Chains A and B, each alone.
Chain A
Amino acid sequence: MSWFKRIKEGITTDTKDKKETPEGLWYKCSSCKHIMTTEDHEKNFWVCEKCGNHHRIGSHEYFDILFDGQEFTEINAGIKSGDPLNFADTKKYSDRLKDAYKKSPLNDAIRTAYGKVEGLDLMVACMDFNFIGGSMGSVVGEKISRSIDVCIEKKIPLMIISKSGGARMMEAAFSLMQMAKTSAKLSLLAQAKLPYISFLTDPPTGGVTASFAMLGDLNIAEPKALIGFAGPRVVKETIGKDLPEGFQTSEFLLEKGFLDLIVSRPELKQKIAELLLMFKN
């Protein structure tokens, strides 16, 4: 027996009369479904206040988090992909690129900039997952390569924030060779005795893991990032069994010995500054 009785059946409000809260005021955590205001979410570095889930962010946000006064000098911002193979699958690569340019202000899956972190010089190359899955093609390789040139010239340390589905298939062997190119330049950075911090954020996989992401003097990851060479689906198909829980997460890699540290986003800037200071003095 209910307290109120519905007189008319169904919902009778017209769509145009429906009252809604404006878009973008609230954020619902994709992991624990906790609801908070977007303002609080942003203040907490896009980390869920309840479960600590790190929402995926891009270069814009990372530059803001890391650089003092949010001031930095971006380099080689205008470089774009050249579609060397005239590649086409179900869609032309050139059209995919056009779509990606329309969807975001990004020119490719990485931005490079230098500035100060707690007063210390740092070059940051940060990947953007929003641009064709953060895939590595010629542009990613070239921009990393040029940022290392600047590091060596200006004698400043490098941090690469990786976040990528792997090599960009539409540039085929060209993208494969970016693994070689970035590793070559990192070997020069190492000879110049300049520190390289690799910061792995959800998800570095494939060719990125098999090159610069794993080559840091320090390999640091965000909590619960997916990190692997082969993707979980491929591994599962290979072994024909379900994967153990937590397989290929940051915590798993730390346990297996491939990471130095796991650092959550709110403490990122401070920790990076502390580490840079260790290398300095």
Chain B
Amino acid sequence: MVYLEFEKSLEVLSNEIEKIKKVGSDSNVDVSKAVTELEQKLKDKRTEVYTNLTPWQRVQVSRHPERPYTISYINAITDNTWIELHGDRGVKDDKAMVGGFGRIDGRTVMFIGQQKGINTKMRQIRNFGMANPEGYRKALRLMKLAEKFNKPIVTFIDTPGAFPGLEAEERGQGEAIARNLFEMFQLKVPVICIVLGEGASGGALGIGIGDRVLMLENTWYSVISPESCSSILFRSWDFKEQAASSLKLTAEDMLANKLIDGIIKEPLGGAHNNQIGIHLTVKLEILKQLEVLDKIDSQHRIDERIKKFCSMGVVVE
């Protein structure tokens, strides 16, 4: 278990429990009462810590190394029926963006999302969840495939940004993202987008145009990461906490500003604390939303999708 800096009190309690359990088993003393008491105390403490997370702390939770990533959700939600489909039919297969058909409660759904690596080697292969243009083009290809066969689309967003590399620029990172925005607005099938972790800027938005855009409780979504915002506007990396607050990037703020449609509650202590629990919650949410979206006529759905995004922004006249 990896503990974040603001979870130190939880780590102390958790270690204490382990120690007592060990003493109990070594010396054959009944410690169950002490353990139960401490476990209750740990739960209370966790509730306390997680009730009032600051925006910066939520950013940290969204990046927790043990947080479940896109493929683990897809496999759980589709009961391992997901068949990954590869390649953009142009340049190559981008490992930072995955996609494919899977069955959820007896119906076929196209799942697409950024994928971060689960260990050092995989993080490199997945490019830390930063897709290249071919990733966005693969995502679009698969969306068009789903549309052709009238299957709904679910996208999972978890990226620190679109990759800002040399080849990415050569192959048109800007064009690839722009094309996705343009095309996603006219998709005839239901589209649900869920932010699972980090929702950084255009890289997130590139698969983020949907009839429903939802965020997990401990995620962030904004135009820039708090660190980069700090370095650009404050000319130093030290103001990331302040930047995180100023950017209003939490799910709660995004919903209050009507920039997303809903929040999916996480288990106590964050998604990584109860993976099975969060997988199920997300699955139920998808089914619930699909049931509503299925009933809407396709053109009406597109009109509403466009209307929703066009109402975003605050101006004075």
**Which A residues are within 8 Å of any B CB, using their own CB?**
76, 78-85, 87-90, 137-139, 141-142, 145, 167, 169, 171-181, 183-188, 190-191, 206-207, 209-215, 227-230, 234-235, 238-239, 243, 247-248, 256-258
Bound-state CA distance A173–B199 (Å) is 10
- Contact between B165 and A210, CB atoms less than 8 A apart: no
Bound-state CA distance A256–B167 (Å) is 11
A173-B247, A214-B174 known; A230-B314 Cβ under 8 A: no
Inter-chain pairs besides A172-B247, A184-B185, A214-B175, 14 sampled, C-beta below 8 Å: A85-B247, A138-B313, A138-B315, A177-B309, A180-B208, A209-B178, A210-B181, A228-B169, A229-B174, A230-B169, A238-B164, A247-B169, A256-B172, A258-B172
Bound-state CA distance A206–B164 (Å) is 10
A176's partner among B202, B234, B246 (CB-CB below 8 A) is B202
Bound-state CA distance A227–B239 (Å) is 30
Counting residue pairs across A and B whose Cβ atoms lie within 8 Å, the total is 193
Closest to A198 in B: B178
A181–chain B nearest beta-carbon distance, Å: 5
Please report which residues of chain B, range 20-49, place their CB below 8 angstroms from some CB of chain A when the two chains form the complex: none
Interface centre among A142, A180, A248 (most CB of B within 10 A): A180
Bound-state CA distance A243–B173 (Å) is 17
- Contact between B314 and A82, CB atoms less than 8 A apart: yes
| 9 chain-A/chain-B pairs, Cβ below 8 angstroms | A81-B314, A84-B314, A90-B234, A90-B235, A178-B312, A187-B186, A209-B175, A210-B174, A210-B181
- Contact between A167 and B223, CB atoms less than 8 A apart: yes
Bound-state CA distance A142–B63 (Å) is 33
Q: Does B259 contact A (CB under 8 A)?
A: yes
Closest to B200 in A: A176
Residues of A within 8 A of B209 (CB): 180, 183-184
B202's partner among A88, A191, A229 (CB-CB below 8 A) is A229
- Contact between B174 and A235, CB atoms less than 8 A apart: no
Residues of A within 8 A of B177 (CB): 210-211, 229
Residues of B within 8 A of A142 (CB): 313, 315
Q: Does B257 contact A (CB under 8 A)?
A: yes
Bound-state CA distance A44–B181 (Å) is 38
Q: Does B171 contact A (CB under 8 A)?
A: yes
Which 9 A-B residue pairings sit nearest by Cβ, starting from the closest?
A: A230-B164, A209-B174, A138-B313, A183-B181, A84-B314, A82-B314, A89-B233, A229-B174, A176-B223
Q: Does B293 contact A (CB under 8 A)?
A: no
